[in-house]
């Protein structure tokens, strides 16, 4: 028996409710599975708290998954989800586009390597087929974000910021206002979903999550200045409500509540009034602005990149070819001063994919998004996962959130947890058939 345990084999229990032999996971399976699941959560937490933590957790995730006796069977199960082959297609399309890129080899590798986060999605899909494990992982992420929000409130009260490059934004304690806002929005959304729609949640946990949701929403309302997070929370809540509510009247009410909620939020928060008023001001004055602004430079980037797309629509400029192509284009343009600033990212995920891999890359990326909507397990997790895809797809219009380190490493593990299908019982060897009872005698 000890030899079987060491090799990862299953232990056969003497009885089961149906009289058949039950198969229990080996100690190796249990340990590796626990470590892999914990590492997946730490990737998402580290994405917004500490990049080195996220990278270390990703390595642990890969190693512990490789040690799972059930790794092969779990990957085969994950492959049945449309989003998995679609993710690999994106990686293949971007790899192929390196062949016609004029960028240095290191730059081609860097832009392709940014998409490695798709592997985190696949591993999370393969790992979180267990309902309690999924619930625990999401609750741990919400708890970590809540701690961050409490620290943010303290920093705001002290008038300080601990985020690099953002010393003047009091209350910004994570990597930057955008990352902090998106992390708090996702955590608030997940807490709301679990409180409202997770019927397996204990009463005490439900109350704790409700309190966390209120605290996170308050931070977004009064402290965190990243506008992306505010818009993301609205999108997430509406998208989930449209999926989880039954009947057209509740869905219509959910949509109608959006402008009302946005109006109330703006009325209650001077910070929101200032931040969103600044967007309008920057857009109205971007042609004559004396210095670079967040929205002003984005408008320039989108115009120049749009012309790049028009000049090379079929193949683009190859993976890693965007920075050089943009610099040449901006030098030929009429822009000067701050508007002529080179960039390595057009701040639009769709334009970045198209300029690098052309029609093939864009088709693969759009298919990945569609496949994500076609994947998923039980509710309410499927609705939450699809809502996150909607939110990230909207944010991708202004930022490359699928490949930017923090935003992509935040999304992919959580998306895999939410879309993972509930699997049938497995034997420790990973073969679903190993856990199946023997056929009944005829």
Phi, psi (degrees; rounded to nearest 5) at 142: -60, -40
Coil, helix or strand at residue 42:
helix
pTM: 0.87
pLDDT in tens, the chain (442 residues): 444 444 444 444 333 334 444 456 788 899 999 999 999 999 999 999 999 999 999 999 999 999 999 999 999 999 999 999 999 999 999 999 999 999 999 999 999 999 999 999 999 999 999 999 999 999 999 999 999 999 999 999 998 887 776 667 888 898 889 999 999 999 999 999 999 999 889 999 999 999 999 999 999 999 988 888 889 999 999 999 989 988 888 888 877 777 788 788 878 888 777 777 777 776 666 666 667 777 888 999 999 999 999 999 999 999 999 999 999 999 999 888 888 999 999 999 999 999 999 999 999 999 999 999 999 889 999 999 999 999 999 999 999 999 999 999 999 999 999 999 986 544 444 444 444 444 444 3
- Is residue 53 within 8 Å of 46, Cβ to Cβ? yes
Give CA–CA dist 417/395, Å, rounded.
21
Alpha-carbon torsion, ordered 418, 422, 426, 430, to 10 deg: -40
Give CA–CA dist 274/164, Å, rounded.
22
Coil, helix or strand at residue 401:
coil
- Is residue 227 within 8 Å of 181, Cβ to Cβ? yes
Give CA–CA dist 293/278, Å, rounded.
10
Q: Which two tokens stand for residue 36?
A: 């892999």
Residues whose CB is less than 8 angstroms from the CB of residue 342 and which lie 6 or more positions away in sequence, other chains included: 323, 326, 327, 330
**Hey, how many other C-beta atoms are within 10 angstroms of the C-beta on 43?**
26
């Amino acid at each position: 028996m000890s030899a079987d345990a060491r090799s990862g084999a299953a232990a056969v229990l003497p009885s089961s409710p149906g009289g058949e032999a039950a198969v229990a996971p080996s100690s190796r399976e249990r340990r590796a599975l626990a470590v892999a699941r914990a590492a997946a959560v730490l990737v998402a937490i580290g994405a917004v708290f500490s990049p080195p933590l996220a990278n270390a957790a990703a390595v642990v995730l890969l190693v512990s998954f490789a040690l799972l006796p059930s790794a092969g069977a779990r990957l085969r199960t994950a492959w049945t989800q449309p989003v998995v082959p679609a993710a690999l297609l994106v990686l293949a399309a971007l790899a192929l586009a390196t062949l016609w890129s004029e960028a240095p080899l290191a730059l081609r590798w860097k832009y392709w390597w940014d998409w490695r986060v798709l592997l985190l999605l696949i591993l999370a899909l393969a790992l979180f087929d267990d309902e309690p494990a999924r619930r625990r992982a999401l609750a741990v992420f919400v708890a970590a974000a809540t701690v961050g929000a409490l620290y943010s409130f303290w920093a705001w009260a002290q008038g300080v910021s601990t985020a690099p490059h953002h010393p003047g934004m009091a209350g910004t304690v994570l990597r930057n206002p955008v990352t902090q806002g998106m992390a708090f929005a996702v955590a608030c959304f997940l807490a709301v979903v679990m409180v409202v729609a997770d019927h397996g949640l204990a009463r005490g946990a439900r109350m704790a999550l409700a309190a966390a949701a209120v605290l996170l929403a308050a931070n977004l309302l009064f402290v965190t200045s990243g506008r992306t997070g505010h818009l993301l929370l609205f999108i997430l809540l509406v998208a989930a409500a449209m999926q989880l509510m039954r009947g057209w009247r509740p869905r219509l009410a959910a949509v109608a509540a959006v402008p009302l909620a946005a109006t109330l939020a703006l009325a209650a928060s001077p910070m929101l009034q200032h931040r969103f008023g600044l967007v309008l001001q920057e857009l109205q004055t971007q042609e004559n602005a004396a210095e670079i602004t967040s929205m002003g430079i984005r408008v320039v980037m989108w115009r120049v990149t749009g012309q790049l797309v028009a000049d090379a629509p079929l193949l683009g400029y190859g993976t890693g070819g965007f920075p050089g192509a943009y610099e040449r284009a901006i030098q030929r343009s009429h822009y000067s001063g701050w508007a002529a600033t080179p960039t390595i990212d057009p701040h639009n995920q769709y334009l970045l994919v198209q300029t690098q891999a052309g029609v093939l890359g864009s088709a693969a990326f759009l298919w990945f998004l569609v496949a994500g909507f076609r994947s998923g397990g039980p509710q309410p997790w499927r609705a939450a996962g699809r809502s996150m895809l909607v939110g990230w797809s909207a944010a991708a219009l202004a930022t490359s959130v699928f490949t930017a380190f923090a935003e992509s490493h935040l999304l992919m593990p959580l998306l895999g947890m939410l879309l993972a299908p509930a699997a049938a019982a497995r034997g420790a060897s990973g073969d679903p058939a190993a856990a199946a009872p023997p056929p009944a005698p005829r």
